[in-house]
Amino acid sequence: MSEALQSRAATLVHLRGKTLKRGDSVPLPLTMASTFHAPGDSTGFHQYGRFSNPTWDAVEEMLAHLENAPCIGFPSGMAAIAAVYFTQLKAGDRILLPADGYPTGRGLAERYLGKLGVSFDTRPTATFLDGGFAGYRLVFIESPSNPALDICDIAAVAKAAHAEGAIVMADNTTMTPFGQRPLDLGVDILVAADTKAPNGHSDALFGHVASRDPDIIAAVKDWRQTSGSIPGAMDAWMLHRGLETLELRFERMCNTAEVLARRLKERKILQLVRYPGLEDDPSHNLARAQMDRFGFLISLVLASEEQAEDFINGCSLIQAATSFGSVHSSAERRTRRGDAVPPGFVRLAVGCEPAEELWAAIKASLDRLG
């Protein structure tokens, strides 16, 4: 981790402490309120729960500290992506989406933007620069792509897309601010699902938009207030707590993933193992150049759907579940979600279990398969 990031991690848990008055609670209070005491007609204080909430403010301050950019919180990662689409696009615009990224970003464009006169193309992440960016209003990247873990050169995409007048948005969910910093690489807008590692306990959904462009932040904030796409106060409070341990959990998860990926690569029963940290992975050189860590997701391909299910369900330390980034390791056969991957494709999300215990459980489940 860079020195700047280490310093940000260290000060993160003291942000609130710096503002305390005598007698204030050290932890963040949860404010559940639809309405606030608001006499007179001046502004600048909380008035109504769709406009603002002190618990959102506290979690947004933490997110902004990590992203080194203003952040606006949303009730989910998809709500953050929708906020960008609906504030930045107008009829006649064309946008470019990753063909192999999180599928709902494409679903939203396909089923709702088309009706409003916005069209889209898709392109595989591994060859994202090929074909240029002429004619696009918005270019959306996800690197590493979820679930195949291909990578594109974020700085090069941002530069080429800007030269064509496009704005560039990156989904940084798989990496978190501790693993990769797309805004520093030149993208205009960052979106992330804090539902995953930032919250980290599979018990709340949340998302955020980050940008260093004040007009974009103002538009996204107005969209939230106007559309009513607002996070719940309790979810914001839970994310606030989760963020306090993100660096600790993320380090453990990435360290363990590096160990496991190397060992999985040796197993003959796996037809393919993808992890950007493996020296011979097609993503490795770019990953080294633009990522701070290689992440905690590993892609595996087993011979069949049955074998993949057997592996997941027969492993005592893998939770069969969708999503990722939680304290427990989990895995999912991705054709279940309609991803364009082989039937035996498994996305393994490494959790916080001690590495050797986790490896023993994974090895035992693979050994059973033959």
Ligand X SMILES: *Cc1c(COP(=O)(O)O)cnc(C)c1O
Distance, CA of 102 to CA of 106 (rounded, Å): 8
Structure tokens at 153: 């050169």
Crossing angle for the helix pair 77-88 and 214-227, nearest 10 degrees? 110
CA atoms in the 13 A half-sphere facing the CB of 125:
24
**133 forms part of the interface with ligand X (CB under 6 A):** no
319 - beta bridge partners?
Answer: 330
DSSP letter at 46 equals: -
In the complex, the smallest distance separating the C-beta of residue 312 from ligand X, rounded to whole angstroms, is: 18
**365 forms part of the interface with ligand X (CB under 6 A):** no
Window of 70-78, 86-94, 176-184, 274-282 that interacts with ligand X by CB under 6 A: 70-78
Q: How far is CA 68 from the centre of its chain?
A: 16
Binding mask 265-294 for ligand X (x = CB under 6 A): ------------------------------
Window of 19-27, 58-66, 167-175, 256-264 that interacts with ligand X by CB under 6 A: 167-175
Window of 29-37, 72-80, 121-129, 286-294 that interacts with ligand X by CB under 6 A: 72-80
**298 forms part of the interface with ligand X (CB under 6 A):** no
Given 62, 69, 193, 209, the residue binding ligand X (CB under 6 A): 193
Task: Give residue number: closest CB to ligand X.
Answer: 77
Q: Which CB atom, from 173 or from 365, has the smaller least distance to ligand X?
A: 173
Given 70, 73, 200, 207, the residue binding ligand X (CB under 6 A): 207
Given 53, 55, 173, 326, the residue binding ligand X (CB under 6 A): 173
User: Total residues at the site for ligand X (CB under 6 A)?
Assistant: 14
Count CB atoms within 10 A of the CB of residue 242.
25
346 - beta bridge partners?
Answer: 300, 333
Q: Which CB atom, from 144 or from 277, has the smaller least distance to ligand X?
A: 144
Q: In what order do the strands lie in the sheet with 297-301?
A: 272-274, 297-301, 345-349, 330-333, 319-320
Q: Which CB atom, from 105 or from 307, has the smaller least distance to ligand X?
A: 105
Distance, CA of 68 to CA of 56 (rounded, Å): 17
**199 forms part of the interface with ligand X (CB under 6 A):** no
Q: What does each C-alpha distance from 271 to 62, 116, 265, 341 come to in angstroms?
A: 41, 43, 9, 13
- Quick one: which of 108, 86, 112 has its CA closest to 97? 108
Distance, CA of 341 to CA of 192 (rounded, Å): 23
Binding mask 143-162 for ligand X (x = CB under 6 A): ---x----------------
**352 forms part of the interface with ligand X (CB under 6 A):** no
In the complex, the smallest distance separating the C-beta of residue 361 from ligand X, rounded to whole angstroms, is: 24
Count CB atoms within 10 A of the CB of residue 157.
25
Given 171, 247, 332, 339, the residue binding ligand X (CB under 6 A): 171
Q: Which residues bind ligand X (CB under 6 A)?
A: 76-78, 102, 142, 146, 171, 173-174, 193, 195-196, 205, 207
